[in-house]
Structure 1
Amino acid sequence: MQILATLLQVLAQTLEIYSLVLIVRVLLSWFPNLDWANPVLSTVSSITDPYLNAFRGLIPPLGGLDLSAILALVALSLLQQMLNTASVAILNSGMSYYS
């Protein structure tokens, strides 16, 4: 059970890193003159755009503002919380099993 709890924690940490990359992508989108052919920017875009596109289909831009990133970040946060909660529950159930 310890391995499963560790795996869930690693997944939650990976989602936290992805959330940070997503925030960077959103902030970079505020600068329209950036050269997206740059390898770093292109990589950030290729990593985050497929996920953001899934939410762009749900929430159309309102007045030129793309609010889909907010929903995308909320979804990632909820998934992180679920993974952390499951990890703690598994660790607690394993502790009571050995007591």
Structure 2
Amino acid sequence: MGYAIVWLVNTVLGLMTWAIIISAIMSWLFAFDVINHRNRFVSQIATVLDAITAPILAPFRRVIPPLGGLDISPIVALLAIHFLRILFNRMSAPFLIQMLG
């Protein structure tokens, strides 16, 4: 059971990482007019990614101002997610595996 919880936490953190990366790439593609919101499929993907990443990025966007039009909050959020992953794997995961098997 402990291995399953560790796997689940690591998978969720990995999916959050990929969602932030894909959302940032899509925002660049929108900014340079490579893709646009008129395409229904692209618009739906952007809406889903925004719904997933907005709660993660909102606290960072409140604290970190955009630097010359460049939003670095996704970078800081990715660093925080990786910090949490390392912290969880080093401190909580061994305890969960030992207690739950």
Q: TM-score, normalised by structure 2?
A: 0.77
The aligned amino acid for 2:64 is I
Deviations along 1:22-46, one digit per CA (max 9) or x if unpaired, are 1000111112232186212111111
- Flag the structure with larger Rg: 1
In structure 2, the residue matched to 1:54 is 59
In structure 2, the residue matched to 1:12 is 10
What's the C-alpha RMSD, in Å, of the aligned pairs?
Answer: 2.0
The aligned amino acid for 2:15 is I
In structure 2, the residue matched to 1:23 is 21
Which ranges of structure 1 fall in alignment gaps of 5 or more residues? 95-99
Q: 1:39 aligns with which of 44, 61, 77?
A: 44
The aligned amino acid for 2:52 is I
Larger proportion of helix: 2
Which ranges of structure 2 fall in alignment gaps of 5 or more residues? none
Q: TM-score, normalised by structure 1?
A: 0.78
Local SS of the residue matching 1:30:
helix
